[in-house]
Amino acid sequence: MPVAFLGLGAIGAPMAAHLTSTDRLTVWNRTRAKADAFAREHSATVAATPKEAASGVTVLLTCLPTSAEVDAVLFGKDGAAPALASGAIVIDCTSGDPASSRRIAARLAEQGVAFVDAPVSGGVPAALKGELPVLLGGQSVAVERARKVVAAFGKKIVHLGPVGAGHAVKAVNNALLAANILAASEGLTALVKAGIEPRLAVETINASSGASFTTQVLVPARVLNGSYPPLFRHALLDKDCGIAVELAAEMGVERPVLQAVKTRMAELRAILGEAADYMDPFARAERSAGVEIRG
Ligand SMILES: NC(=O)c1ccc[n+]([C@@H]2O[C@H](COP(=O)([O-])OP(=O)(O)OC[C@H]3O[C@@H](n4cnc5c(N)ncnc54)[C@H](OP(=O)(O)O)[C@@H]3O)[C@@H](O)[C@H]2O)c1
Q: How many Å lie between the centroid of ligand 1 and the Cα of residue 277?
A: 13
Is 124 found in the same domain as 27? yes
Which is nearest to 12 in space by CA: 33, 27, 32, 24? 27
Burial class (CB in 10 A: 0-12, 13-18, 19+), 158: middle
The residue whose CB lies within 8 Å of the most ligand 1 atoms, and thus the one to mutate among 32, 131, 236, is 236
Is 181 found in the same domain as 155? no
* Contacts of range 153-156, beta carbons closer than 8 Å, 24 or more positions apart: 153/14, 153/15, 153/18, 153/19, 153/120, 153/127, 154/120, 154/130, 155/126, 155/130, 155/131
Is 170 marked active-site? yes
> What per-residue string of b and e applies to 40-56 under the rule 16 or more CB within 10 Å gives b?
eebebebbebbbbbbbe
> Nearest C-alpha to atom 3 of ligand 1 is from which residue?
123
> Nearest C-alpha to atom 1 of ligand 1 is from which residue?
232
Percent of the chain with pLDDT over 90: 98
Q: Indicate the pLDDT class of residue 193, thresholds 50, 70 and 90.
A: very high
Of all atoms in ligand 1, which is nearest to the CA of residue 8?
A: 43
- Is residue 210 scored above 90 in pLDDT? yes
C-alpha distances in Å from residue 64, one per residue of 61, 72, 95: 10, 10, 8
Structural domain boundaries, residue 209: 168-289
Query: Per the domain annotation, does 248 fall within a domain?
Result: yes
Query: Per the domain annotation, does 71 fall within a domain?
Result: yes
pLDDT single digits (tens) 139-149: 999 999 999 99
Is 113 found in the same domain as 8? yes
How many Cα atoms sit within 13 Å of 143 on the Cβ side? 20
Q: How many Å lie between the centroid of ligand 1 and the Cα of residue 236?
A: 8
Report how far residue 269's alpha carbon sits from residue 198's, in angstroms, rounded to the nearest whole number: 26
The residue whose CB lies within 8 Å of the most ligand 1 atoms, and thus the one to mutate among 232, 241, 265, 277, is 232
Work out the average pLDDT over 124-140. 97
Is 177 found in the same domain as 273? yes
Query: Per the domain annotation, does 42 fall within a domain?
Result: yes
Is 118 found in the same domain as 235? no
Give me the chain's average pLDDT, please.
Answer: 97
Q: How many Å lie between the centroid of ligand 1 and the Cα of residue 9?
A: 5
Is 198 found in the same domain as 151? no
Give the pLDDT confidence score for residue 22 in this predicted structure.
81
Angle (CA) 188-189-190 rounded to 5° is: 90
At 127, which CATH number?
Answer: 3.40.50.720
Single out the residue in 163, 190, 214 at which a domain terminates. 163
At 220, which CATH number?
Answer: 1.10.1040.10
pLDDT single digits (tens) 8-62: 999 999 999 999 988 799 999 999 999 999 999 999 999 999 999 999 999 999 9
Is 243 found in the same domain as 209? yes
Give the pLDDT confidence score for residue 21 in this predicted structure.
85
The pairing of strands 59-62 and 2-6 is: parallel
Q: How many Å lie between the centroid of ligand 1 and the Cα of residue 97?
A: 14
Is 184 found in the same domain as 108? no
Query: Per the domain annotation, does 295 fall within a domain?
Result: no
E strand intervals along the chain: 2-6, 24-28, 44-46, 59-62, 89-92, 114-117, 132-137, 154-161
User: Ligand 1: residues within 6 Å at CB?
Assistant: 7-12, 29-31, 34, 63-65, 69, 72-73, 94-95, 120, 123-124, 231-233, 236
Query: Per the domain annotation, does 294 fall within a domain?
Result: no
Give one DSSP letter per residue of 102-126, joined into a string. HHHHHHHHTTT-EEEE--B-SHHHH
Is 226 found in the same domain as 132? no
> Nearest C-alpha to atom 30 of ligand 1 is from which residue?
69
Is 34 found in the same domain as 117? yes
Q: How many Å lie between the centroid of ligand 1 and the Cα of residue 46?
A: 18
Q: Indicate the pLDDT class of residue 282, thresholds 50, 70 and 90.
A: very high
Is 156 found in the same domain as 274? no
Query: Per the domain annotation, does 252 fall within a domain?
Result: yes
Query: Per the domain annotation, does 199 fall within a domain?
Result: yes
Query: Per the domain annotation, does 107 fall within a domain?
Result: yes
Is 12 found in the same domain as 158? yes
Single out the residue in 134, 163, 192 at which a domain terminates. 163
The pairing of strands 114-117 and 89-92 is: parallel
Residue 156, classed as helix, strand or coil, is strand
Give the pLDDT confidence score for residue 46 in this predicted structure.
98
* Structural domains counted in the chain: 2
Give the pLDDT confidence score for residue 23 in this predicted structure.
79
The residue whose CB lies within 8 Å of the most ligand 1 atoms, and thus the one to mutate among 36, 64, 77, 176, is 64
Percent of the chain with pLDDT over 70: 100
Single out the residue in 128, 144, 163 at which a domain terminates. 163
Task: State CA 18 to chain mean position distance.
Answer: 17
- Is residue 86 scored above 90 in pLDDT? yes
Which residue is catalytic, options 170, 193, 239, 262? Answer: 170
